[in-house]
Structure 1
Amino acid sequence: MNWLLVVLGAIVGAPLRYLTDRAVQSRHDSVFPWGTFTVNVAGCLTLGLLTGAAAGAASSHLQLLLGTGLCGALTTYSTFSYETLRLAEAGAVRHAAANVVASVAAGLGAAFAGAALADALWA
Structure 2
Amino acid sequence: MEYKYIFCQLNHAVTGKATYSNFGVYGQKALNGIGGLTNVDLTGTADKFLPDNPHAKYLYVAKVAREEDPDMVTLVVPSGVGPYGIEPDESCFIGFRIYVEPETGVGPSWSEILYDQAIKINP
Structure number with higher strand proportion: 2
Same fold (TM over 0.5): no
TM-score by length of 1: 0.29
